[in-house]
Amino acid sequence: MTDEEAIQAATAAQNPNVNAPPPPLPKEAEGWMKTLSPGLFENYQQMETLWNHPAAQFSVMLVKDPAFRGAVTEINQKFQKNTVLGYELAWVLLIWILRAWRLSKAGTWLTRIWVQLWVSQLFWAGALFLVPWLLWGKSYQMVLATVFRALIHQF
């Protein structure tokens, strides 16, 4: 899926009918939920009152977006636990070495605080954005773009 197609699909998914109540529960599912757990069916009925909560609207907006679903599916297919852990551990070791090197050059306590601040920001930027982007590329970029677009739409 190209960026233009994803943007068009995301725009089409964001229709004004987001505040609609959840669909009625089929009779078979209602009977199944009652036999499975008596409290589960009452929780479903309480969900109707929570439908207009901003977190629910945010989740619905994400799930309705076909570009988001496609990107999450692609990330799920490419996900390999050992590879992710290896990249993250390599990033942690690189940051430890960088922090130790820069702290050895810091002479005052104010310089040490400054080094800790920018190195920790570098660590989090790399752990949350750089490493996943290296592993999953465009799919991760699409997930982030869709999440940011949905967050902006909430406000």
Per-residue pLDDT of the chain (155 residues; tens, 9 = 90+): 677 777 766 676 665 454 555 555 556 555 555 555 556 556 655 666 666 677 777 877 888 888 888 898 899 999 999 999 999 999 999 999 999 999 999 989 999 999 999 999 999 999 999 999 999 999 999 999 999 988 888 77
61 in Cβ contact with 4 (< 8 Å): no
CA–CA separation, 116 vs 76, rounded Å? 34
CA–CA separation, 57 vs 76, rounded Å? 24
Number of domains in the chain: 1
Domain residues for the domain of 106 are: 3-154
Predicted structure pTM score: 0.63
78 in Cβ contact with 136 (< 8 Å): yes
